[in-house]
Structure 1
Amino acid sequence: MSGTVPKIRIRGLHKAFGSKKVLDGVDLDVMPETSMVVIGGSGSGKSVLLRCILGLIEPDSGSIEIDGVDVLALGERARDEMRQCIGMLFQNAALFDSLTVWENVAFGLLAKGRRPRHGAEPRLTRAQARVHAGKVLEQVGLAASVGDLSPSELSGGMQKRVGLARAIAARPEILFFDEPTTGLDPIMGAVIDGLIVDCVQNLGSTAIAITHDMASATRIGTQAAMLYRGRIVWRGAAAELLHSGNDMVDQFTHGRREGPISMELRK
């Protein structure tokens, strides 16, 4: 791990929708080149937290710093530039059906007319983007020829790999993973987790993954945190998730009915 300034620093983050408090004072540090896994039940605020960091949702109060810069205080153009250092793997891959696989992988690069991080030239031509997409597909275990197919011709596991390829295509400094193993069988889930770990390490990126899959959490994460009722109630090494010593984490990770976490009835 390099440096002492957190890559991502969140303080006092609040977000409510009407009378429903979703984030209720979240504090979280993610150090450079760390893979942070955020766990928690449905409705605990995991996805809202990611969307606030991405700038898709405006929090009610609090601060979000990337490399020591409060992104909430930036203008829209500066925020957009900051977002370009982030890659995202969506829960259901979220591929564009009207585009070929290689166009999906290179979408961000073509849309911004830019090269991957560390590229020698400022702009990427369509032909160069196609070659680059083929190389990135190979990094996630797919042949470059898959790039000529449409997303509808791929299995769920292959679509997830393409989504991962798109997330890493620009060699981002930060990677977000939203429930990366949802809809996959246990073996394919382990394959995707392994690819995620390899990609994060090869890029030297900082990663945040949200999941309720404990096997995935321990495979992906180096650090972990648990959200409950909009607050971080525990954080520590991901390897300690199954024996954290925290009653809430213990109940959640072992799927126990009895414990401090209670199911709330929808009103």
Structure 2
Amino acid sequence: MSLADTPKIRIRGLRKAFGSKQVLDGVDLDVAAGTSMVVIGGSGTGKSVLLKCILGLVEPDAGSIEIDGQDILKLRGRARQAARAEIGMLFQNGALFDSMTVRDNVAFGLVARHQASRSAAHHKADAVLGQVGLAPSVGDLSPSELSGGMQKRVALARAIASEPAIMFFDEPTTGLDPIMGAVIDGLIVDCVKRLGSTAIAITHDMASSQRIGDRAAMLHKGRIIWEGPAAAILDSGNPVVDQFTHGRREGPIQMELRR
């Protein structure tokens, strides 16, 4: 495989269990450079665990995670930190620091991970807030003074502030009304394209998945069972994917009853 053919992210045989529960059971996934991949799947199927394994927040039991052809699971210390410093993350609930102003939230990674001066980081934060449609004056507010949609914008600004090569989005439209969800999706697409980043988003929102993704994949029972164009997600031809994307009660996916 030539360098030009090497996926930006290449995952092979990724496995992770928590006690007796096997969450990831041999995940294989390729994400080409400069493209957006949407991963769908039911609650508890391991979508967030997949992202956390790549981020280093969870250590997988087996498998490989390659970025630009280099297995980051084999890296140690500063080399692993440097590889993961190229990743920006939009967490599901924003995960903003309540004790900090909006400006300090956006500047946090620039100071903590990229050693920018506080003054330079604040200047960049104001510029990035503008890119997500927020005035610099918003930077003086605390997260608690913002609406849910504005908090998502701030979280997105923080994720893109360092201009990462890779971006992750964990349920970016959760808790938002349909219009604000479409606005956030549009901002995500604009930011990813402007930066030329490679993106992975996980979502339950089928409209969002088609707006964000170039390609889509479904995680089910610990494995990727389907992968194809995001535009075809509602017409995949796979009975499991079709049941999930159309929200049908009857089909191969059966809800497990807790005893």
TM-score computed with the length of structure 1 as normaliser: 0.94
Is the Cα–Cα contact under 8 Å of residues 113 and 125 in structure 1 kept in the other structure? no
Indicate conservation of the 8 Å contact 2:85/2:113, yes or no: no
Cα RMSD (Å): 1.0
Aligned counterparts, 1:127-146, within 5 A: 127-146=119-138
Name the structure 2 match of 1:238.
Answer: 230
Per the TM alignment, residue 15 of structure 1 is displaced from its structure 2 partner at its CA by 0.5
State yes or no: 1:211 paired with 2:203: yes
Q: Where does residue 67 of structure 2 map in the other structure? A: 66
The structural deviation recorded for 1:131 is: 1.2
Identity %, equivalent residues: 75
Runs of 4+ in 1 over 3 A off after TM superposition: none
Shift of 1:83: 1.1
> Residues 105-184 of structure 1 correspond to what in structure 2 (within 5 A)?
105-114=106-115, 124-184=116-176
Corresponding residue SS for 1:42: coil
Q: CA deviation at 1:113?
A: 4.4
Describe the superposition over 1:122-166 as per-residue Cα deviations: whole angstroms up to 9, x where unpaired: xx3211211111100000010111111111110010000000000
Contact 1:193 1:220 in 2 (8 A): yes
Once residues 242 and 35 of structure 1 are traced to their aligned partners in structure 2, the CA distance between those partners, rounded to angstroms, is: 18
Count of residues paired in the alignment: 257
- Structure 1 counterpart of 2:186: 194
Alignment of 1:97-108 (within 5 A): 97-108=98-109
Find out whether 1:85 has 2:92 as its counterpart.
no
Distance 2:257 2:82 in 1: 42
Q: In structure 1, how many angstroms separate the alpha carbons of the residues matched to 2:258 and 2:203? A: 22
Check the 8 A contact 1:35/1:221 in 2, yes or no. yes
The answer on whether the counterparts of 1:214 and 1:253 sit within 8 Å (CA) in structure 2 is: yes
Secondary structure of the corresponding residue to residue 4 of structure 2? coil
In structure 2, stretches of 5+ residues that fail to align are none
Q: Which amino acid aligns with 2:206?
A: M
**CA offsets per residue over residues 159-191 of structure 1, 9 Å max, x none?**
000000000000000000000000001110000
Say if 1:180 and 1:192, in contact at 8 Å, map to a contact too.
yes
C-alpha separation in 1, matches of 2:21 and 2:114:
41
